[in-house]
Structure 1
Amino acid sequence: MSQAQNVGYARRLGVLDATMVVVGGIIGSGIFLNPSIVAQRTPGSGTTLLVWALGGLFALAGAFIYAELGARRPQAGGGYVYLREAYSPLVAFLFGWIMLLVNYSGSIAAVATTFAAYACRMAGLGAAWTKPVAVSAIVLLAGINYFGIRAGAIVQNILTLLKLLAVAAVVAAGLFFAGGAPPEAVIAPAAPMSLGSALLPVLFAYSGWFYINNIAGEIREPQRNIPRALVFGMIVCTGCYLLANYAYLHVLGHAGLAASTAPAAELMRRAFGPGGETVISAGIAISTFGFCNIAILGGARVFQVMGADGVFFRAVARIEPRYRSPDVALFILAGWAAVLAYVGGYGQLLDFSTVGDWIGSAMVAAALFYYRRHEGSEPVFRSPLYPFLPLFFIGAVAFVVISSAIAKPWETLVGLGLIAAGVPVYFAWQRFGNRDGATPGSTG
């Protein structure tokens, strides 16, 4: 029996740690940089806030669904495990395939590059340093997580607390120090509102709650703590997003927010001068660094389970016996993300992967119907408003996919092609790569 089978994960995280993972996986750079996009696509301040509130309801629905799934299957792997059990090993493999090839790795590369840009600017380094700093950040975080979930969680707790302080600084500056928007700044843009286009950046800003399910095998009392962390973490993030947008609108006005390319920096500059802009730049750097930590920590667990299932390199199934970390999976994910960050081709890859990411989310939500139908035992936590809540979530995801396909038909077709390319890879792996005859699901 392999070492990966002898050594398992250790449940070392409490509810506070798990909540910090949820918050850290959601709040990145988007709330500091992108609210202007939503303002551009809405006719007024009230509608802008309404769209952010609707996004929060959608995300909360997803959190409730993932909370029950995590309570039913409190083990590493998250969505990969649910898809494997509810559908087939092939469907689960395609999910993991697109996550490794593009989604997790590309997100890490993109956000690490954003971190590096802000860090280099504050340190007075030229643009030539951005890629080396981004790669170094990815390698550093992989090294920290090698020492186990406790080390990664300690770093994450600190970074998440600091990013929450950064959001609080924006809200306080907007409400108490920067003054109100001038009258001429509240004129609504002439373009009519498109709900789909306005919701897209909001839903992307709210995504990321699922990382907690990837590390469910390392959370104490998971049937209780996973739901608590997901629901409480989502409420915290929704509150932060609504307050931050209210602060932007209060200071910049709707038209001013729509015209701004960096609303948080502009708000802090109005409140505190150049020093305020420096503070929020540091906050954005910290926030993006924290997201990279979550993506590396959570993503590696998915690939470790794939290795244990025999649908990826068997060496990736290894769990380091002393620190209980998926060391090989960590360095494969971080290595590929570092390559993407250095080459710089992740942006278009992420555009291509959007459709697969959302389709995977809908299928994971639909897996709840499978578990409710086939399992007699009841989890500690049950998602409320069943079956309406998962139907609402799936319908909202379908709306996002259709809106994305209409807006970017070429990227959608290429994204579907990337998913389809995983089918021959899966069957080739079954024939040539899985030499020990492991059955998917037999070791996970």
Structure 2
Amino acid sequence: MQGNQKLNLFSFTMIVVGLVIGMGIFRTAATSAKDAIEPSVYFTAWILGGFVALCGALTYAEIGSRYPVTGGYYKVFSYAYHPSIAFAINCIILISNAASLSAVALIGSGYITKLFPGSAWTDIDKALISCAAIIFFYGINLMGLKMSSRAQNILMLIKIGMIVVLILALFFPHEQSAVAAVTTSTSTGVESMSWVQSLGISLIAVSFTYGGYQQTINFGNEVNQPAKNIPRGIFIGIAIIIVLYLLVNLSYYSIVGFDQMKGEREIAYVVMERTFGAKGADIFSFFLFFGVLAYVNALLMSNPRVMYAMSEEKTLPSFFAKQNPKNQVFTFSLTVFAAMCIVILFFAQTFDKILNFTIFLDCFGMVASSATIFILRKRTRHLDGTGIFKMKLFPLMPLIFMSAYLFVGISIAMQTPDTAFVGFCVLLGFMLIYFISTKFRKPVTEKSQ
């Protein structure tokens, strides 16, 4: 990678924030509230989610410093485990990421269509709007990392601005404050759950909202001074995200009310409408749609690098590693991932339907990738004391992170066992594909590290 295409600290930090803050905070608060039996469960889930994200950030910061390579998320698996596990988990992660991108774009289109209340918007109409956004940012990414990172910076500033507006709504008079109604009804079918069960299910939506930062290790040596800027970018980004999420949830809780949140989808629109009127809510939705596209752009930047890494390891054909000689864009991989997103977009029904499946697949990736820190610490002892980032409180931090995602995965399996079964089958299916494909190619000599 040429020096003029390197990411500086600010650009890398904006990528971290962009990977995490997608549409989630503008939608999953309602889902998390619906699954919480009382406000204490709801806020515990969001605080716990932030703490788990911080533990994960510490873990991935060290992984990225010890193994700073392009496509790091795949190569860490391949280096630490058997290549079949790397292939299978990364394939399901790619599917999960494409599904997440499509769902987020679809929900973003739900906000923009609120500007035209008289029109009868169908799911196909919203899918077409989302498809247009994906194609647009596909074109931006074809121009190179520097151009796409500039677009990312602008979009993230817009999106952070929208979050700040939601927070400032706390200090403006609004139509009604529904907090007084918080403690009464629980008509969502969760009243029979225990506090811990409710917390586990509420954490599913919270995990989706906090997830994404682990993909930053895909950029590896494309970051200026990776040993220094990878951990700094993750720390700064996660700190920004935690503060913003907690304040936004306080705004939802205070202005909409806990029980009323359960039935809302475009919950941010309701906050704006109660605070600034219908016209203010429309203006907010317009800018929010473009800010949310930062998530689309960030995933289009990161996931082709996984395909590139898999191609270098000979688990995908060599053309997945081809780069444009002028701007180092992984053109074929980018095209394949964008096409995957568009295909999933027209098959995905709603955000809620794909949420559990996406998070269950993510649980595999989170636990397996964070566990590589134990292997990397042993194999890269020679890097200790050379200026790389090394977390404190090891192994407590990665163990907390892994335990949290095991808890979420078990909660999904208990709530929707069919989803868990399909997830296991997908994982085993990709492992089978790997072993079948290895019989039809020559063995590759493993590179020494």
In the superposition, the TM-score normalised over structure 2's length comes to 0.90
Distance 1:303 1:441, change over 3 A: farther
Q: How does 1:266-277 map onto structure 2 within 5 Å?
A: 266-277=270-281
Give deviations 1:308-335, integer Å, cap 9, x for gaps: 1110121001121110111111001111
Distance 1:315 1:8, change over 3 A: farther
Partner of residue 52, structure 1: 46
Distance 1:354 1:186 in 2: 28
Partner of residue 146, structure 1: 142
Distance 1:248 1:116 in 2: 21
Question: Contact conserved, 2:176 with 2:274, CA < 8 A, in 1?
Answer: no
Question: Is 1:390 aligned with 2:398?
Answer: yes
Comparing 32-41 with 48-57, greater Cα deviation is found at: 32-41
- Structure 2 letter corresponding to 1:402: I
- Structure 2 letter corresponding to 1:80: Y
Distance 1:404 1:247 in 2: 28
SS in 2 for 1:178: coil
Give deviations 1:167-212, integer Å, cap 9, x for gaps: 0001101233427625642334442532211222111110011221
Question: Contact conserved, 2:17 with 2:237, CA < 8 A, in 1?
Answer: yes
Question: Is 1:159 aligned with 2:155?
Answer: yes
Partner of residue 307, structure 1: 311
Distance 1:140 1:259, change over 3 A: closer
Tell me how far 1:303 sits from its aligned partner. Answer: 0.4
Q: How does 1:351-366 map onto structure 2 within 5 Å?
A: 351-366=356-371
Partner of residue 115, structure 1: 108
SS in 2 for 1:273: helix
Partner of residue 405, structure 1: 413
Question: Contact conserved, 1:175 with 1:247, CA < 8 A, in 2?
Answer: no
Distance 1:317 1:184 in 2: 58
Q: How does 1:112-261 map onto structure 2 within 5 Å?
A: 112-122=105-115, 126-127=121-122, 128-178=124-174, 181-182=177-178, 184-190=180-186, 191=191, 193=195, 194-261=198-265
Give deviations 1:243-272, integer Å, cap 9, x for gaps: 001111222232233343332111110111
Question: Is 1:372 aligned with 2:377?
Answer: yes
Question: Contact conserved, 2:106 with 2:126, CA < 8 A, in 1?
Answer: yes
Partner of residue 106, structure 1: 99
Partner of residue 3, structure 1: none
Question: Is 1:21 aligned with 2:9?
Answer: no
Give deviations 1:18-49, integer Å, cap 9, x for gaps: 11011111111121122123233335445432
Distance 2:200 2:401 in 1: 15
Tell me how far 1:367 sits from its aligned partner. Answer: 0.4
Distance 1:51 1:338 in 2: 32
Partner of residue 428, structure 1: 436
Distance 1:429 1:316 in 2: 16
Question: Is 1:88 aligned with 2:82?
Answer: yes
- Structure 1 letter corresponding to 2:158: L
In the superposition, the TM-score normalised over structure 1's length comes to 0.91
Question: Contact conserved, 1:90 with 1:423, CA < 8 A, in 2?
Answer: yes
Q: How does 1:5-44 map onto structure 2 within 5 Å?
A: 12-44=6-38
Tell me how far 1:121 sits from its aligned partner. Answer: 4.3
Distance 2:400 2:303 in 1: 27
Number of matched pairs? 434
Distance 1:440 1:349, change over 3 A: farther
Question: Is 1:70 aligned with 2:64?
Answer: yes
Distance 2:179 2:48 in 1: 27
1:262 to 258, 261, 266: 266
Partner of residue 296, structure 1: 300
Distance 1:246 1:296, change over 3 A: same
Distance 2:350 2:423 in 1: 13
Question: Contact conserved, 1:308 with 1:314, CA < 8 A, in 2?
Answer: yes
Give deviations 1:393-423, integer Å, cap 9, x for gaps: 1111111111111111111011110111112
Where does structure 1 lack aligned partners over 5 or more consecutive residues? 1-6
Distance 2:334 2:444 in 1: 22
Considering only aligned residues, what root-mean-square deviation do their CA atoms show, in Å? 2.4
Distance 1:136 1:439, change over 3 A: farther
Distance 2:447 2:100 in 1: 27
SS in 1 for 2:256: helix
